[in-house]
Chain A
Amino acid sequence: DSGVTQTPKHLITATGQRVTLRCSPRSGDLSVYWYQQSLDQGLQFLIHYYNGEERAKGNILERFSAQQFPDLHSELNLSSLELGDSALYFCASSPRTGYGYTFGSGTRLTVV
């Protein structure tokens, strides 16, 4: 157990729907990062939150949004889902600096 908890582990939904993925960082970690891993794109950075504030955005679609709550857990919201959104979604957490990134076990999203 890495200490980073992601739920749900698996999610199957239809095109056009909206889902929410949840991530609880390791105790004491202030940063949460979201990554998408698909077969043809590898691990792609989506967004970074630090202590509730957005710090950086990567290749995140406008249909996707995220937030980090006061208790430091984070949610990634994916809407108007398309078949191409099927992927593994990972979150990682780290302390204040970049040292010690730890990944969760991921959420496998299948859009049918």
Chain B
Amino acid sequence: GESVGLHLPTLSVQEGDNSIINCAYSNSASDYFIWYKQESGKGPQFIIDIRSNMDKRQGQRVTVLLNKTVKHLSLQIAATQPGDSAVYFCAENTDYNQGGKLIFGQGTELSVKP
């Protein structure tokens, strides 16, 4: 039969606007979270991470917010640029100190209009 591709949520923003990408994670025991950016044909690229003992962390133009109460993670990108267009994945780790595996969310496709 015909295969069906993974239908990713899509966020379309105007260049210069701020973007907010949301993620619901699955395991309340997860203690480490990472946001990755994946461009077409490339591997996931690290953007920013956060440990479970924090609720906010800022990087260059990016901020990650963690709400453990509702198991929610968000990535905020300030002054979004066309080069930010990509698929963004959140990932959770339930065993940070032992180098445990990452479990990925489904991803969100960000499209930036110039």
A73-112 vs B, Cβ < 8 Å mask (1 yes, 0 no): 0000000000000000010101111111111111000000
**Interface size class, chain B:** 20 to 34
Assess the A50–B6 pair: CB atoms within 8 A. Answer: no
In the complex, A55 Cα to B101 Cα: how many Å?
9
How many A-B residue pairs have C-beta atoms within 8 angstroms? Tell me: 76
Interface size on A, residues (CB 8 A): 33
Closest to A4 in B: B43
Assess the A39–B97 pair: CB atoms within 8 A. Answer: no
Assess the B101–A58 pair: CB atoms within 8 A. Answer: yes
B46 smallest CB distance to A (angstroms): 7
Q: Which B positions have Cβ atoms within 8 angstroms of A?
A: 3-6, 32, 34, 36, 42-46, 49, 89, 91, 93, 95-107
Q: Which A positions have Cβ atoms within 8 angstroms of B?
A: 2, 4, 30-31, 33, 35, 39-45, 48, 50, 55-56, 58, 90, 92, 94-106
